[in-house]
Amino acid sequence: MTSIFRILFSFLLVQGVLFAVSLHEAAAEPARPLNFANDIVPILTKADCNTGGCHAKAITGQRGFRLSLLGFEPEEDYEHIVKEGRGRRVFPQAPEQSLLLLKASNTVPHGGGKKLDPESEGYQTLVRWLSEGMRYGDETDPQLVGIDVNPNRKTMAINTTQALKVTAKYSDGSTRDVTKMALYEANDRSMAEATGEGVVTTLDLPGNVAVMVRYSGLVSVFNISIPLGAPVEELPPVKNFIDELVFANLKEIGVPPSPVCDDETFLRRISLDVGGRLPTIEETEAFLANQDPKKRDQAIEALLGSPDYADYFANKWTALLKNRREDKADITANFAFHAWMRDSLLANVAYDDLVRKILGATGT
């Protein structure tokens, strides 16, 4: 029996030594080198340093310090932070005394106020980056290739919360939890709100809402269904695949559809929605007198083929595409783009073809 205990003791002793050695090796393993684009730019973005209202302001930046909008030009940002002004913004020998951190922490008065707490993860990462020599990174460093949001879809009751987890995926197959560094924005703030830590809270309205998640130039979405819970039994006849999707969604969130409106209301709605105008007296009288059961479909098709539709939606699309300029001296190009968009809509050019032509266009 004694020999058995000795063997067992020896075995446990050896295992303990091996475990201690493995712990020592793990502790001694150097931390991965920081990469400016992967590790530093997301901190600046999270702190709103590179937005249009701060140091990414067009042409001049803010008080002589300029960053690219949302960090889309990391090489340029590196030059401005590390090399511009003879490197006055960085002090690797004493990182906490770098102007970059003194301003961000508001230790030195900063027009944007306090952006980083000295105890925060972002601040400490900047300290480490500065102390390690402000490395930009190598071509062999892993590149960010995608982000995942978990969960990416959920049905939530009114006034409930859900914590999101955001994972960054890199070209070498590695992943990293970037939940604290991601940015969150609900597309309808009357239905849901999101904190900077990725906690989403639904509010008092039922329906569908999406929370956009951004990290280092990549975007993902958390989709939420907030059910009302009412029974959905009677639905209007299905006329196309869009109706199928809409009715399936109404059933999912428990929101009964509005009743079918009368002819007067229908004509007014489609005239405003499609043509951007009220129906004329003549159009109204003719529509009400029409006994054709397909007259509603015919009215929609007539509006879609009219100059009113082309005018109205050309204005919508050129506004969305920011077809404007502050300098009014030469706006010929703006008028030309608007005219091209109107003519394309009037000719019933498919939307995928429109997008293809816009993305492939050259000139100003």
Q: Are residues 108 and 191 in the same domain?
A: no
- Model pLDDT for residues 250-263, shown as the tens digit of each residue: 998 999 998 889 99
User: What's the structural domain count of the chain?
Assistant: 3
Cα separation, 38 vs 136, whole angstroms: 10
Q: Are residues 110 and 151 in the same domain?
A: no
Q: Helix, strand, or coil here: 161?
A: strand
> Averaged over 144-150, what is the pLDDT?
96
pLDDT at 170 over 50: yes
Q: Are residues 277 and 222 in the same domain?
A: no
Q: Are residues 295 and 274 in the same domain?
A: yes
Instruction: Between 339 and 115, name the one with better pLDDT.
Output: 339
Query: CA-CA-CA-CA torsion for 331, 335, 337, 340, nearest 10 degrees?
Result: -160
Query: pLDDT grade, residue 63 (50/70/90)?
Result: low
> Averaged over 227-253, what is the pLDDT?
90
DSSP state letters, 143-211: -EEEEEEESSEEE--TT-EEE-EEEEEETTS-EEE-GGG-EEEES-TTTEEE-TTSEEEE-S--EEEEE
Q: What is the pLDDT, as a whole number, of residue 23?
A: 40
149 in Cβ contact with 222 (< 8 Å): yes
> Averaged over 300-314, what is the pLDDT?
96
Task: Report strand pairing: 165-170 vs 207-215.
Answer: unpaired
Q: Are residues 267 and 347 in the same domain?
A: yes
For residue 236, being part of any structural domain is answered with no
For residue 243, being part of any structural domain is answered with no
Query: pLDDT grade, residue 126 (50/70/90)?
Result: very high
For residue 98, being part of any structural domain is answered with yes
Query: pLDDT grade, residue 86 (50/70/90)?
Result: confident
pLDDT at 7 over 50: no
> Averaged over 331-354, what is the pLDDT?
93
Name the domain boundary from 109, 131, 153. Answer: 131
Q: Are residues 292 and 348 in the same domain?
A: yes
Name the domain boundary from 110, 131, 152. Answer: 131
Q: Are residues 120 and 42 in the same domain?
A: yes
Range of the domain at 313: 263-359
Q: Helix, strand, or coil here: 128?
A: helix
Q: Are residues 286 and 339 in the same domain?
A: yes
The amino acid sitting at 144 is L
Q: Helix, strand, or coil here: 202?
A: strand
Q: What is the pLDDT, as a whole number, of residue 113?
A: 85
Q: Are residues 126 and 41 in the same domain?
A: yes
**Mean of the per-residue pLDDT values of the chain:** 87
For residue 2, being part of any structural domain is answered with no
Q: What is the largest CA-CA distance in the chain?
A: 110
For residue 273, being part of any structural domain is answered with yes
In degrees and rounded to multiples of 5, residue 298 shows phi and psi of -65, -40
Q: What is the pLDDT, as a whole number, of residue 22?
A: 44
For residue 17, being part of any structural domain is answered with no
In degrees and rounded to multiples of 5, residue 334 shows phi and psi of -65, -45
For residue 114, being part of any structural domain is answered with yes
What percentage of the chain's residues is helix, strand, coil (to nearest 5)? 45, 15, 40
Name the domain boundary from 79, 101, 131. Answer: 131
Cα separation, 121 vs 100, whole angstroms: 16
Is the full-model pTM beyond 0.75? no
Q: What is the pLDDT, as a whole number, of residue 151?
A: 97
pLDDT at 3 over 80: no
Q: Are residues 349 and 290 in the same domain?
A: yes
Q: Are residues 165 and 199 in the same domain?
A: yes
Sheet of 183-186, strands arranged across? 153-155, 218-226, 207-215, 183-186
| 46 Cβ neighbours under 8 A, 6+ residues apart | 122, 180, 181, 182, 183, 196
For residue 29, being part of any structural domain is answered with no
